[in-house]
Structure 1
Amino acid sequence: MIVWLNGTFGAGKTTAAHELLDLLPGSTLYDPELLGSGLRLMLPAKRFEEVDDYQDLPSWRRMVADTAAALLTEVPGPLVTPMTLLRQEYRDEIFGSLAARRIPVLHVLLHAEETILRARIAHREETPGDDGANAAIRRWSLAHLEPYADALPWLTDDAHVVDTTRLTPRQTAERVAEAVRAGTGACDIVQTPEPTAETLAAGVLLFDDQDRVLLVDPTYKAGWEFPGGVVERGEAPAHAGVREVAEELGIELAHPPRLLVLDWEAPQPPGFGGLRLLYDGGTLTEERIGKLLLPGAELRDWRFVTEAEAEQLLPPVRWNRLRWALRARERGCPFHLEAGVPVG
């Protein structure tokens, strides 16, 4: 298990984490910030100039889950992880990757009133005697208060909240230990095993009466997606698409969906690629749209979007696949793509 202590700078994550080690037998401190420091030493300086924070590096986000899995082969656990995580898509990527390894996550938000946070940051001294370094750290910490406020709606919905405004670090740790024992804040994320070889996946495009396409927001990976999933061994792809729509959204398709796109996705390490099929599931009536269901462990949200809106939400590879699928729907014939480019 990972006990992830989230919160902005000044919330008391690090001090509470050290106190928590005394309260959770067998626990180990796991600080992903060390991975960022390591990457700063190993990656070219130019790469860091391209991002605002080491969390923006895909390698860091992958290493967080990989390192946790490795550590848990060496120690009994749990891992206590004091780490600010304000971008929901990064939470999805990291926690989803941990879930795929069957590593449960207890997400705890340490929160304090802004006036308290500012006071704590003002008195924070990371490097004794180095006023310049400490001033830079304070500026950095204060700059994160606004992004933290913006992230609060999803954080408070996702995590168990412990208000540290009037708590000592020990009292905070005691509240977190109680949550651990009660299982409060456990992230219920679908466990989607990471592929070990090429995969075959089927997605289904569903439309409303304005010809907008339905996208869903998975809890276990970053970015919006089409309803659908990996085709199981021995399963027909079209049947897999129908099954996934029923499981994810509670929608039973009356007719087999029509193929729009077959796309070979090139392997991009650590991904293995494979065949991706998109089908036309037809237009949903307002009544059926009103009955859409979301499994909380798998999907967070859904929305109908125009083609232009989809371009802003989907990762480039999925967007390109959708673009060709919409052209195929207009023309009434499917497209065969290889790495997103039509063949022939």
Structure 2
Amino acid sequence: MIVWLNGAFGAGKTTAARELVDFLPGSTFYDPELVGDGLRMMLPRKRLDEVSDYQDLPSWRRLVVDTGAALIAEVGGPLVVPMTVLRQEYRDEIFGGFAARRIPVRHVLLHTDETILRERITERQAIPGDADASESVRRWCLDHLEPYRSALPWLLDDAYVVDTTELTPRQTAEHIADAVREGAGSCDIVQTPEPRAETLAAGVLLFDEDDRVLLVDPTYKPGWEFPGGVVESGEPPTHAGVREVVEELGLRPAEPLRLLVVDWEQPCPPGYGGLRLLFDGGRLTAEAARDVLLPASELRAWRFVTEGEAAELLPPVRLSRLRWALRAREQGRPLYLEAGTPTG
């Protein structure tokens, strides 16, 4: 199990985490900041200069999960993790990675009144012999108060909240331990096993009466997606597409699925690639759209979007696939792609 302590810089996550280890028998303190420190030493300066925060490095997010899984295999007990994560797509990627490895996550938010936070940051203990570094750390913490305020709506909805304004670190830890024992903060994310070979996946494009396409927001991976999923062994792809629409949206396409795109996805470690099919599932009436019912453990939201709006939500690979699928729909014939590009 992972007990992830989130919150603003200065909320007391690290101190509370070290205390929490005393209250959770067999637990181990795990600081993902050490993963970031290692990457700073290994990655070329040019790559590091491209990001403002090591959390923006895909390698950091992957290694946080891989290292956590390795530690649990080594020590067996819960891991107590103090780490601020304010971008929801990073939370999805990291927590989804743990879920794929069958490792449950308890998400706890340590919330502190902003006035107190500013006092703690200002009074933060100086780095011995390095006044410039001390001031840089204080400025970093203060600069992240606004992103924390912006992230609060989804954090409050996602995590179990502990107000630490008037609590000592030990009281905070004791409160968290009691809450974790009662199941608080449990993240019921769909546990999608990581592929071990190339996969065949079927996605379904559903349209509204204005020809906007329906996208869904998964809880277990970053970015928006089309309804759909991996085709099971021995299952026809069209059946898989219909099955996924029923499971994810609670409705059945009114028309037979029509193939729009076959895209060969190039293996890109740690992914294995494979074939990606996109089908036209027809139009949803406004009445049918009102019946959409999302599984909370898998999807948090859905919406109809224009092609331009999709460009703000979809990762590049999925966006390219969508654009070619829309062209195929206009032309009335399917397209074959390799790595997102038509051949021939």
Normalised to the residue count of structure 2, the TM-score between the two structures is 0.99
Partner of 2:170: 170
Partner of 2:186: 186
Partner of 2:128: 128
Cα distance in 2, alignment partners of residues 152 and 251 from structure 1: 32
3-state DSSP of counterpart to 1:20: helix
Q: CA deviation at 1:133?
A: 1.4
Alpha-carbon contact 2:255-2:282 (below 8 Å) kept: no
Gap regions ≥5 residues in structure 1: none
Cα distance in 1, alignment partners of residues 324 and 46 from structure 2: 35
One-letter amino acid of the counterpart of residue 187, structure 2: C
**5 Å matches for 1:157-236?**
157-236=157-236
Q: CA deviation at 1:256?
A: 2.3
One-letter amino acid of the counterpart of residue 273, structure 1: G
Partner of 2:39: 39
Partner of 2:313: 313
Partner of 2:303: 303
Cα distance in 2, alignment partners of residues 123 and 129 from structure 1: 17
Partner of 1:2: 2
Partner of 1:109: 109
Cα distance in 2, alignment partners of residues 313 and 336 from structure 1: 24
Partner of 1:238: 238
Normalised to the residue count of structure 1, the TM-score between the two structures is 0.99
One-letter amino acid of the counterpart of residue 43, structure 2: L
One-letter amino acid of the counterpart of residue 93, structure 1: E
3-state DSSP of counterpart to 2:135: helix
Q: CA deviation at 1:179?
A: 1.2
**1:276-295 CA distance string (max 9 Å, x none):** 00000000001100000110
Q: Could you tell which deviates more after superposition, 252-261 or 136-145?
A: 252-261
Alpha-carbon contact 1:242-1:256 (below 8 Å) kept: no
Cα distance in 2, alignment partners of residues 133 and 316 from structure 1: 38
3-state DSSP of counterpart to 2:99: helix
Q: CA deviation at 1:314?
A: 0.6
Cα distance in 2, alignment partners of residues 167 and 12 from structure 1: 10
1:30 aligns with 2:30: yes
**1:13-40 CA distance string (max 9 Å, x none):** 0110111011110010000000000000
Partner of 1:261: 261
Cα distance in 2, alignment partners of residues 81 and 95 from structure 1: 12
Cα distance in 2, alignment partners of residues 201 and 333 from structure 1: 20
Cα distance in 1, alignment partners of residues 294 and 76 from structure 2: 35
Percent of aligned pairs sharing the same letter: 74
Gap regions ≥5 residues in structure 2: none
Partner of 2:141: 141
1:294 aligns with 2:294: yes
Cα distance in 2, alignment partners of residues 120 and 129 from structure 1: 20
**1:30-80 CA distance string (max 9 Å, x none):** 000000000000000111100010000000000010001100111121100
